[in-house]
Amino acid sequence: MKLFELLLLALALYYFLIFRPKAIKEKKRRQEVEKKSKASSQTTSAVPIIEKMVACDFCKVRLPDSDAVIFDGRFYCGQAHLKSINSEGFLGSSKRVLSNNYDLRPDSVAIDTVVIHHISLPEGKFGGHAIEDFFCNRLNPNDDPYYPTIVDLQVSAHFLIKRSGEVVQFVSTLKRAWHAGASTLMERQKCNDFSIGIELEGTGELPFEPGQYQALQLLIQEIQIKHPISMIVGHSDISPGRKQDPGKFFDWQYFKEISQISEQKFPFGMSSR
């Protein structure tokens, strides 16, 4: 019996002092190896590349940003939607400088008229951002002796076409911009109600740039897709005696030719005025 007890004791000692610590060590080692291989497989295996998805500003279709046309920080599914006016009344290919100088058009009015203007600020000087500032009520009255007289006017146009042909949009075509003031067209007053105002950067003393006519033609083409335009007039036509723009340097004949818009849509004729 004594021998048997000694044997049991020896076995127990072997188990607790040698076998068990070894087994625990081995288990730990395996866990360590497993952990390492897991970590390395995560870094070496193909990690799926997740492309940033963006929405077309016109049709809202979602596409990877690498496939989108990007303009002024917005995304488009293609050139056709870039150059269109969207359902909110904004032209894709215009720089948006949003003005608060607008309100709602009267209920169920047809937007059927385009009014062409000219503007330059300071008067006779081109470039810069004074026109944008003026339409956004942030013109600095100290920048020009003329500015204090206009700084509080609160006006806007839907679009401005700069000398470079760049198009800036201030107000949705669906909303009423404040560009025409007191005005009458074919016995209809308050032309802002039913018109879209386009300013050409210019003066009454100089011809407009070919790029401006080109941009105007493309812009009116898009406007006509969205709105039933039946008349294209100058500011001086609807506010005679009070306004002279776009002035005698606006070439109506040339514009009609490049735009191929029917002469019937020019109720004040083709002559310079």
DSSP percent split of the chain into helix, strand, coil, nearest 5? 35, 20, 45
Say if residue 193 is exposed, middle or buried (CB neighbours under 10 Å; 0-12, 13-18, 19+). middle
199 catalytic per annotation: yes
CA-wise closest residue to 111 among 198, 218, 216: 198
Interacting residue with Zn ion among 81, 83, 105, 158 (CB under 5 A): 81
Q: Examine residue 56 and tell whether it contacts Zn ion (CB under 5 A).
A: yes
Within the chain, how many helices (H) and strands (E) appear? 8, 14
Residue window 117-146: x/- pattern of binding to Zn ion, with contact defined by CB under 5 A = x-----------------------------
| Minimum CB distance to Zn ion smaller for 224 or for 244 | 244
Using CB under 5 A as the binding rule, the residues of this chain from 99 to 118 that contact Zn ion are: 117
User: Cβ closer to Zn ion: 235 or 265?
Assistant: 235
The number of residues that bind Zn ion (CB under 5 A) is 8
Q: What CA–CA distance (Å, rounded) separates 272 from 264?
A: 17
Q: What is the DSSP letter of 19?
A: I
Binding mask 219-238 for Zn ion (x = CB under 5 A): ----------------x---
Write down the catalytic residue from 5, 32, 132, 199: 199
Which segment (50-58, 86-94, 135-143, 165-173) binds Zn ion by CB under 5 A? 50-58
Residue 84 or 172 with smaller CB distance to Zn ion: 84
Give the tokens for residue 130. 């004074």
Q: What is the largest CA-CA distance in the chain?
A: 133
Q: Which of 132, 201, 209, 245 binds Zn ion (CB under 5 A)?
A: 245
Residues 107 and 168: their CA atoms lie apart, in Å, by 27
Alpha carbons 84 and 73: distance in angstroms, whole number: 16
User: Active-site residue numbers?
Assistant: 199
Q: Which residues bind Zn ion (CB under 5 A)?
A: 56, 58-59, 77, 81, 117, 235, 245
